[in-house]
Amino acid sequence: MTSELWPFFSLRITTARLELRYPNDEVLLALARALPEGIHDPATMPFSEPWTRAESPALEHNALKFWWSRRGSLSPESWSLPFAVFDGDDVVGVQDLMGKEFAITRAVLTGSWLLQRAHGRGIGKEMRAAVLHLAFDGLGAIEAYTNAFEDNPASLGVTRAIGYEPNGSSLHARDGATARSLEFVLTRERWTERRRDDIEIRGAGFVPPGAQGADRLTRMVVRIGAVNVHVPLVPVTGGFSNPTDAVLTVPVPVDVEPGRVEVQVVTAAGVETHQYAIDVTD
């Protein structure tokens, strides 16, 4: 799918174990079709909104409408990225990353589910680690929040394994009865202690959300060999014509010798891309 008008469609987070993809309609339909398989024991309810109780095909329709509404209402002030979780070619669940006023708070919230056949194989941990990598490494988050009902050991197990700290609790009405939700926070410091170097973010633009202002963009650098070149900002109404989300243009300084040289972009969020070899001519 072409994605220059909706760059999120190119966004992927890859680990050795699985891939998270921002879902296009084909993927959303595959996820919806799989829902009647079940995502939890019907005797339990992991969600405060018991959406999984609907019968097919209302279950699938409701899910599609929910995902489409999230896509349609996405804005810098309030966004949700419901990544489809791929185990090989098999789509097995959703790992959501949400931000409210992220440019100000730099805080994110996660939520997730897996088809029952995918439970208990470590996928929940891996997909949470992947999306947190996007949040902290890709977007520069400073805190990530999550919560789970106290009778959801699998979700609490993921949270414990990743290294969150307790952050209080709250009471909710669930299926007509009171249920306690446990809240957790993962700080940037805690995440950094356990930072993984085997998770790759692909398709993220050079310009992060909330970086409309020049202050952060001025930090963007193209490293050509050993020379760091600041990206010249070309302001136009409502943003910049350089850098854009997909393309940035820099002059090659005279101190770069002609010949083969490695090039790397250090984005406004401080993320270093892979190195690419280019041939510099006179």
Residues near ligand COA, by CB under 6 A? 39-40, 46, 112-114, 119-125, 148, 152-155, 157-158, 161
Q: Which is nearer to ligand COA, 77 or 90 (CB)?
A: 90
CB of 118 to ligand COA, least distance (A): 6
Of 2 and 178, CB closest to ligand COA: 178
The tally of CA atoms less than 13 A away on the side-chain side of residue 149 is: 17
Own/partner pairs, 50-56, CB within 8 angstroms, 24+ separation? 50/174, 50/175
Q: How far is the CB of 154 from ligand COA (least distance, A)?
A: 3
Considering the complex, what minimum distance in angstroms separates the CB of residue 149 from ligand COA?
7
C-alpha closest to that of 28 among 78, 87, 56, 70 = 70
Choose between 25 and 151: whose C-beta lies nearer to ligand COA.
151
- Nearest approach, Cβ of 29 to ligand COA (angstroms)? 20
Those residues with Cβ within 8 angstroms of residue 240's Cβ, 6 or more apart along the chain or in another chain? 207, 214, 217, 233, 234
For residues 102 and 184, which CB has a smaller minimum distance to ligand COA in the complex? 184
Q: Which is nearer to ligand COA, 148 or 265 (CB)?
A: 148
Closest approach, Cβ 155 to ligand COA, in A, equals 4
| Min dist. Cβ of residue 159 to ligand COA (A) | 9
Please state the closest distance from residue 120 (CB atom) to ligand COA, in A: 5
122 or 213: whose CB is closer to ligand COA?
122
* CA 251 to chain CA centroid, nearest Å: 32
Nearer to ligand COA, 161 or 271 (CB): 161
Shortest distance, position 134 Cβ to ligand COA, whole Å? 17
Residue number, 99 or 124, with CB nearest to ligand COA: 124
Q: Which two tokens stand for residue 261?
A: 């040289």
